[in-house]
């Protein structure tokens, strides 16, 4: 028979391991949370093979603050997911959020944009949706 101290320590250790495992299981990320985290990482770090800039080079503070492209001021992206699709004069057509992200990557970053439906484009738009949480849906509205 084990001495009482060792038995208590062993029991406590097992309880601690079980408690730790339960915490890990409850803290597991959902597929959406994984996509949002991946999108945030891509937004901050991916150059898409372009000019060395990232989305965050122009859209500051993860897109949550106004930004700048050359001499042009850019609005924040806080409500981007809430205002697309929208008509844009530059494109002369209705543009989706996904196609706008592709356009920014191709134009602003001189990169190769991810394909529609690709995990990277889904992740970036999921991230943009996450920062728009709580924004009023205003399809066709103006950026903030």
Give the mean pLDDT per block of 10 residues along the chain (144 residues).
41 40 59 97 98 96 94 94 93 94 96 98 98 94 88
- State if pTM tops 0.75: yes
The helix or strand, by DSSP H or E, that contains position 93, with its residue range, turns out to be strand 93-95
Burial of 125 (0-12, 13-18, 19+ CB in 10 A): buried
Structure token digits, residue 131: 């920062």
Domains and CATH numbers, the chain: 29-131 (1.10.760.10)
């Amino acid at each position: 028979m084990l001495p009482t101290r060792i038995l208590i320590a062993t029991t406590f250790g097992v309880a601690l391991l079980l408690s730790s495992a339960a915490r890990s299981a409850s803290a597991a990320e959902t597929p959406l949370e994984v996509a949002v985290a991946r999108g945030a990482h891509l937004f901050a770090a991916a150059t898409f093979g372009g000019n060395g800039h990232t989305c965050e080079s122009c859209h500051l503070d993860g897109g949550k603050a106004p930004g700048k492209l050359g001499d042009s001021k850019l609005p924040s992206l806080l409500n981007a997911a809430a205002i697309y699709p929208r008509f844009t004069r530059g494109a002369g057509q209705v543009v989706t959020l996904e196609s706008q992200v592709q356009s920014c990557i191709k134009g602003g970053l001189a990169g190769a944009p991810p394909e529609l439906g690709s995990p990277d484009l889904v992740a970036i738009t999921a991230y943009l949706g996450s920062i728009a949480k709580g924004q009023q849906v205003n399809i066709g509205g103006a950026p903030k």
